[in-house]
Structure 1
Amino acid sequence: MNKRICLITPSMQKGGMERVLSIFANYLVREGIKVYIICLINGETAYELDSRVQVIAPRTKYHGGISGKLQVLLFLCKQLRLISPNSFLSFSEVFNPLSIIAARITGNKCYISNRSSPDRVYSYANRAIAKKFYPLAAGLIVQTDLSKRDAIKKKLNKNVAAIPNPLKDFEKRDEIEKENIVISVGRLVSSKHFDELIDIFVKADNKCEWRLFILGDGPEKENLELKIAEIGVQNRVHLKGVIDDIDQYLYRAKIFAFTSKSEGFPNVLSEAIAAPLPVIAYDCVAGPSEMINDGKNGFLIEQDNQLLFEQKLRLLMQSPLLREELVSDFSNYRQRLSKDKICKAYLNFILD
């Protein structure tokens, strides 16, 4: 094929966006494409990449501000001139405008990808910058149909595609036995509402037969620890911290619960469905409604309806047959979001 593609990202540190980018990069090299990942901020690479993927990062530290953005722009322009890609795809709303400017300066074809929820509130300056520069990109990739409609309504770009995130591979681990565990995964921030999940779990598990495992770390950790201690459920609710092998917990658990109220495309929820686990989640603005078929592979709960969330969670806890029924079609979900299928959609869009 003799094609060269650049993928632009703030960094390759641990995160959902970076995981998707690594999957796409590995797919591209298997298709015979030369792949360059240009990191705009220096840092470690947290994901396994094919040895043929070239990662380029600045040596200097990013300091932010106008001078920092200018430094990033000059670095990006230099790399694009050296590589001269057939096309490049930029991830991250923060740096997408700089990528578009760099494309105009160097004469390259630039596509951009938005990863946040359409209800995320940006500053007036950021909205004005996006409105001015986004239409100059060759195309815009978003993660959900709702985000696509929102981007079209805001006239961000005339060429918008909704492409969900690809699933990673799952290994069979028949040796791991299921336990009475409800699991949730995410950064410990206020928008995930883990404090609410703890209250719901404690009420739903009125016979004290289950445990709640929350995987992740973040600024709300201390507040959550205090809450767990205050209500005396240290033996039932466990903050597990950052876990490299999340799959082992997905395989041990029997239910996945998700109380986040702002998402773009929650990978953790998608992976739980594919693991497979019966899932229960708030119907926040974007993401869950395009993964969960209510009553078929899990439950979608009206946002802030804690009572209904509690009732449905208790129902899942008490009914093994219902849990089996909700995961019976997981193979079709895996196929719909398979790496090859999703990455091919990405590739076709940016080489159109």
Structure 2
Amino acid sequence: MRNKKICLLTTSLSSGGAEKMAANMSLSLSRRGYEVYVVSMKNEIDYEYAGTLYNFGKVKAQHNRFLAFLKFRAFFRQHQFDVIIDHRVRDKFLKELLFAKLVFKSSKVVYCVHHYILELYFSMVNIPLLLRQVLVKNREIIVVSKVAKQKIKEQLNFESKVIYNYIIPKRNVHEVGLSGGFIVAVGRLENIKQFGVLINAYHNSQLPKHNIKLFVLGEGCEREYLEQLILKLNLQNYIELLGFRNDADTYIKHSKALVMSSASEGFPMVLIEALALKTPVISFDCKSGPSEIIQHNINGLLVEDQNSEKLTEAMDRMILDKAFYNNIRNNLEQMPNPFSEENIMGQWVEFLGEF
């Protein structure tokens, strides 16, 4: 019996957590003998992946919309995948209607939901009749958090299954040549990540006085605003915006802690990556994900949601209370990783075998 032919459909292979999961799944499924194809809607390819890549971003750049769509449909008709795992944001009704009726109609599709804000993944959520038109009949829904599962049941009356995200640690994490210590934050420089809130909380903390720097890894539309804020607070010697980096895990590994200040999340990859690298974490207890990842006072600190004063206090406590910090680090060294590739991919393989 041949191994299943799997298509991983993603917005891109760069920058985001959902995109990172698509890349990770391509590596994991390929190693387990699946025939893997990755379809990227944008020509943004930074993450390591495995399998055959269909870069639809390039196709769109070379053809008009109609011809590009025909090529997209022809690709799926040619390959007749056993399962399509869709990691994209799916908030454009007409686009998803065309895909459901003209591209994926006869396919088995797994709709992945990476955030509890359902409008990102189900267009027309308030009009059930229209909503069902953009979903194929032979479908399953996988969510990355318990909050998302609950919302899908309450709001849409759909059943879904929780399978958490996971990361694949690199075998060799090189040293970072830095004097003194630092904390790190990772993500797109966008409003939802609230790096401005983090910078202000850091400014109010004792960390600059102890020469503990803040490195922010990521790129986005708020870079200029954040640069100006750093200058305004006279923190240019303490905060660096390092841009998007493929070696983010190196900085996470060698940081004293990873801090997340988001307004909301889905199931944040940066938190599970930090814990896999045995780095303590500090995060707002925002929806959704942090409370399912962080065990307060054991592997990190959960901060009252959107309380920037408490965020400042948490950073000071984590870094400056040596006994507390060492206890967290010791816990991390001893704790098994519930978000390991082996654990999570075992769930995916079982699921794919049943679907």
TM-score range with shorter-chain normalisation? 0.7 to 0.9
> Are 1:192 and 2:193 matched, yes or no?
yes
Q: Match for residue 221 of structure 1? A: 223
- The CA deviation at 1:116 is 2.5
For the residues of structure 1 that align with 2:136 and 2:150, how far apart are their CA atoms?
A: 15
For the residues of structure 1 that align with 2:250 and 2:324, how far apart are their CA atoms?
A: 22
Structure 2 SS opposite 1:37: strand
For the residues of structure 2 that align with 1:121 and 1:93, how far apart are their CA atoms?
A: 6
Q: Alignment length, in residue pairs?
A: 344
- The CA deviation at 1:204 is 1.4
For the residues of structure 1 that align with 2:73 and 2:353, how far apart are their CA atoms?
A: 21
| Structure 1 gap segments, 5+ residues each | none
**Partner residue of 1:287 out of 286, 289, 292:** 289
Contact between 2:119 and 2:125, CA under 8 Å: does it hold in 1? no
Distance 1:78 1:218, change over 3 A: same
Structure 1 SS opposite 2:337: helix
Contact between 1:76 and 1:99, CA under 8 Å: does it hold in 2? no
Q: Match for residue 117 of structure 1? A: 116
Pairing of 1:254-273 with structure 2 (within 5 A): 254-273=256-275
Structure 2 SS opposite 1:327: helix
For the residues of structure 2 that align with 1:248 and 1:227, how far apart are their CA atoms?
A: 26
- The CA deviation at 1:44 is 4.5
- The CA deviation at 1:76 is 3.9
Q: Match for residue 84 of structure 2? A: 88
Q: Match for residue 75 of structure 2? A: 79
Distance 1:124 1:6, change over 3 A: closer
Q: Match for residue 348 of structure 1? A: 350
Q: Match for residue 304 of structure 2? A: 302
Structure 2 SS opposite 1:300: strand
> Are 1:233 and 2:239 matched, yes or no?
no
For the residues of structure 2 that align with 1:124 and 1:6, how far apart are their CA atoms?
A: 22
Distance 1:271 1:339, change over 3 A: same
Contact between 2:86 and 2:112, CA under 8 Å: does it hold in 1? yes
Q: Match for residue 10 of structure 1? A: 11
Per-residue CA shift, 1:149-170, capped at 9, x if unaligned? 1111122633x11111111124
Distance 1:40 1:337, change over 3 A: same
TM-score by length of 1: 0.86
Contact between 1:185 and 1:216, CA under 8 Å: does it hold in 2? yes
Contact between 1:281 and 1:288, CA under 8 Å: does it hold in 2? yes
Per-residue CA shift, 1:275-323, capped at 9, x if unaligned? 1211111111101111101111111111121222211211112122212
Distance 1:311 1:241, change over 3 A: same
Pairing of 1:1-352 with structure 2 (within 5 A): 1-2=1-2, 3-41=4-42, 43-50=43-50, 53-58=51-56, 59-61=58-60, 68=65, 74-94=70-90, 98-102=98-102, 105=105, 107-118=106-117, 125=124, 128=127, 129-134=130-135, 136-155=137-156, 157-158=158-159, 160-171=160-171, 173=173, 179-205=180-206, 208-209=209-210, 210-330=212-332, 335-352=337-354
| Structure 2 gap segments, 5+ residues each | none
Structure 2 SS opposite 1:153: helix
Contact between 2:169 and 2:273, CA under 8 Å: does it hold in 1? no
For the residues of structure 1 that align with 2:187 and 2:234, how far apart are their CA atoms?
A: 23
For the residues of structure 2 that align with 1:34 and 1:104, how far apart are their CA atoms?
A: 19
For the residues of structure 2 that align with 1:122 and 1:85, how far apart are their CA atoms?
A: 22
Identity of aligned residues (%): 25
Per-residue CA shift, 1:53-85, capped at 9, x if unaligned? 11123453269xxx94x6665444322221122
Per-residue CA shift, 1:89-125, capped at 9, x if unaligned? 11213276554434653x2211111122337679974
Contact between 2:89 and 2:121, CA under 8 Å: does it hold in 1? no
Amino acid at match of 1:168: I
For the residues of structure 2 that align with 1:185 and 1:191, how far apart are their CA atoms?
A: 13
Structure 1 SS opposite 2:156: coil
Contact between 2:214 and 2:238, CA under 8 Å: does it hold in 1? yes
- The CA deviation at 1:194 is 1.1
Supply the RMSD in Å over aligned alpha carbons: 2.9
